[in-house]
Structure 1
């Protein structure tokens, strides 16, 4: 080899490398008929319509094919992820709703427990009234008096009304 060829060889190799690198950048992207996205350094098959080719050398990725218009882009807020403050506000709102639900559930459970206790007391009182034993009642003045048959029947009817709600 001559000295000039040896001196030019590194420059030729660098030029060849740059040429090969520029060819490697020729990338294609398209969507096939099954909806699968493909990436290649070779052009898509001829069966792929031009509208399905997403990227080709000389065509920008965000460029619409001829005859088609781009869909309007949503604002930056629509695509952006919620901020930390938004997420915190959502968390606090969910926590308040959960606390209200738990409070309501606790109140309902307490109400159900009180009703069950009331029904149990009414069943016991009804059993006592129906047993035929003498029942003593203490009046407002502190005097004890025995219930007569009429009073017993009236109280049994009242207890039956309470027990009708318990079923």
Structure 2
């Protein structure tokens, strides 16, 4: 039965996670009479922050807004909550993870291209060295006959090898 345990472990972990998640959304506070209350809803507004014992991890105590002295100053706080609204930590974590994955993919692609350029550079150098060695080069044509590479073809291939080196050997 050793194969049952590895299959059972993910299910047990998922079950524990499901049982743990609802407990994360609980508020715990003390009312004006000193009585403890627990709920998944936030406490009433008349309960001061000091009496709220436990909040869900996503709920942060709101900063007390300053009293508005003039209508111009009342317009400024109206824009602040949108800019300073609490960011969903799970969403921020997913975005950060997606950015990291995109960077990792881009880096892996760049490394793959660099390796391919290095290989192409090495091949072009070897081919150019062969062409410049001055030895007789023989190729097999489509009919299966051997042909000697003439000087014009050798010069053309050497120019192509130099172009390949210029683009790949950086």
* Higher Rg: 1
TM, length-normalised to structure 1: 0.50
